[in-house]
Amino acid sequence: MNYSHSIAENVLMKHDSDHNNTDIQIRNLNVSIDNNHILKDINVDIPDNKITCIIGPSGCGKSTLLKSINRLIDDVDKAVVTGEIYLEGENIYARNAEITHIRKKMGLLSQRPTPLPMSIYDNVAYGCRIHGLHNKQQLKKIVEENLRNANLWDEVRDRLNSPASSLSVGQQQRMCLARGLAVEPSFILGDESTSALDPISSRNIEDLFVKLKERYGIVLVTHTLRQALRIADYVVFIYLGEIIECGTAKQVFKNPQHDLTKQYLSGAFS
């Protein structure tokens, strides 16, 4: 049964105008992995300058959806993708789409921090160098600016040449955020990006997301309803690979329209 038609398509009707340069538009997205149909006819618009939380039980397809948005799904063995995802008006699944260009627009914060085996400075500058920027003064400015954006500059300014591995886990995650911001993405994606952190570090990352949404669209996969309740502006609820309900956080959390949403929010399943 396709649960999504009754709720999600009603939301879509509000946004189903010409593709613009502010949202991610997902149309008829289907993803199968080794003949297992993971995502089923996903249709949703993700707003800019908002925090969108993708919620749902384990194994429902949340991370697969995130990987589809930045085409990391390409690296999954036996994955087959059909449908369209528009980013700034460009169909990222068009035959002539350039993957490096697409991924540059998507700053990804993974479940666990992934510092590169190099200094703090070189970690943040890494993406810029990959994309052809080598001017030392420009790189120095970019590194400082984005460490500030990640609320890390004051903690590391005197040890930029130290190994990134010397940072605490929470600091490493903020450094990875700075590294992603340095290449000037359009959206920030987070896949359970606070789950490996202690409560204080987790709240620091949440506070950063709230601040950064003034400049970026932010899409977060989270298993933690409390987190979504704290910071989400927009919510997408997925169950068994289908969108059951999506809308503003107030709409979904305060007045859910679908029985499955009500059950999930009440803790009937997780």
Structural domain includes residue 85: no
Please say if the pLDDT value at position 17 is more than 70: no
Given pLDDT bands bounded at 50, 70 and 90, which one contains residue 12? very low
Tokens 């890494």 sit at which residue? Answer: 126
Encode burial over 90-119: b for 16+ CB neighbours within 10 A, e otherwise.
bbbbeeeeeeeebbbbbbbbebebebeeeb
Q: Which amino acid is at 75?
A: D
82 belongs to a structural domain: no
Domain containing residue 216: CATH number: 3.40.50.300
pLDDT in tens, 33-46: 999 999 999 999 99
9 located within any domain: no
Beta strand spans in 75-212 (E): 79-87, 90-91, 106-109, 187-191
Round to whole Å and give the CA distance between 89 and 10: 22
- Percent of the chain past pLDDT 70, that is, above it, reads 92
Question: What single DSSP character describes residue 112?
Answer: S
Inside any domain, residue 91: no
| Residues in contact with 55: Cβ distance below 8 Å, sequence separation at least 6, in sequence order | 62, 222, 223, 225, 228, 235, 236, 237, 238, 264
Residues 6+ apart with CB under 8 A from 247: 11, 234, 235
Range of the domain at 169: 48-71+102-265
Residue type, 165: S
Number of domains the chain is built from: 1
Is 38 a domain residue?
no
Nearest CA among 201, 197, 155, 146 for reference residue 176: 146
For residue 124, which phi and psi values (nearest 5 degrees)? -70, -35
Reply yes or no on whether the pLDDT at 193 is more than 60: yes
Burial class (CB in 10 A: 0-12, 13-18, 19+), 84: middle
53/237 Cα distance (integer angstroms): 8
Kind of pairing between the strands at 187-191 and 106-109:
parallel
Q: Is residue 165 part of a domain?
A: yes
Contacts with 75 (C-beta within 8 Å, 6 or more apart), sequence order: none
| Mean local confidence (pLDDT), 19-38 | 85
Please indicate, yes or no, if residue 10 is contained in any of the structural domains: no
DSSP-derived letter for residue 50 is: S
* Nearest partner of 208 among 196, 193, 223, 225, judged by Cα: 193
Quick check: pTM over 0.85?
yes
pLDDT of 7 above 70: no
